[in-house]
Amino acid sequence: MKRSAGLLLFHHTDDGLDVLLGHMGGPFFARRDAGAWTIPKGEYEPDESAWAAARREFEEELGLPPPDGEALDLGEVRQTGGKTVTAWAIEADLDPATIAPGTFRMEWPPRSGRFQDFPELDRVAWFGLDRAREVIVKAQAAFLDRLAEHSP
């Protein structure tokens, strides 16, 4: 069973609570919006703690160190493909223009023998909770609900 861990940044605005999501990079998600946004996260092996993986993956995917601050445990969700995702929320500000995303390599087009590098996350943006629920990977919407329950 694959496991991922990630960090969900949030901050308060005059309009309410905003969360930082990343749009998945690569050709499969290039023209998609709904279901193509995720918390910055990644897979980890059994010998690494989920918390350490969440912090490592944040830096790998955004090219920035994870913020310090009190972490709110948002628990786990199971995505459609069977992957279990563990997440924590941290209140922090981040300018989306400052990201320097990591990349992954894949054969594209399929069976072409040509390999290309794609960004892990091709962009990040702040969303209010209602809009975030419309675009986030379906199972991860539970993280938004849990954050809203614990946020003033």
Q: What is the pTM of this model?
A: 0.93
What's residue 1's pLDDT? 85
Residue 32 has pLDDT above 90, yes or no: no
What's residue 149's pLDDT? 94
pLDDT 10s digits, 113-149: 999 999 999 999 999 999 999 999 999 999 999 999 9
What's residue 30's pLDDT? 83
Residue 151 has pLDDT above 80, yes or no: no
pLDDT 10s digits, 43-64: 999 999 999 999 999 999 999 9
pLDDT 10s digits, 66-99: 999 999 999 999 998 899 999 999 999 999 999 9
With beta carbons less than 8 A apart as the criterion, state whether 143 and 39 touch: yes
What's residue 152's pLDDT? 63
| Residue 86 DSSP symbol | E
pLDDT higher for 26 or 152? 26
The tokens for 26 are 């690569």
Q: Give which of 39, 35, 30, 2 is closest to 126, Cα–Cα.
A: 39
What's residue 35's pLDDT? 87
Residue 8 has pLDDT above 70, yes or no: yes
What's residue 117's pLDDT? 94
Q: How far apart are CA 98 and CA 100, in angstroms?
A: 7
Helix or strand holding residue 20 (H, E): strand 16-24
Confidence of residue 29 (pLDDT cuts 50, 70, 90): confident
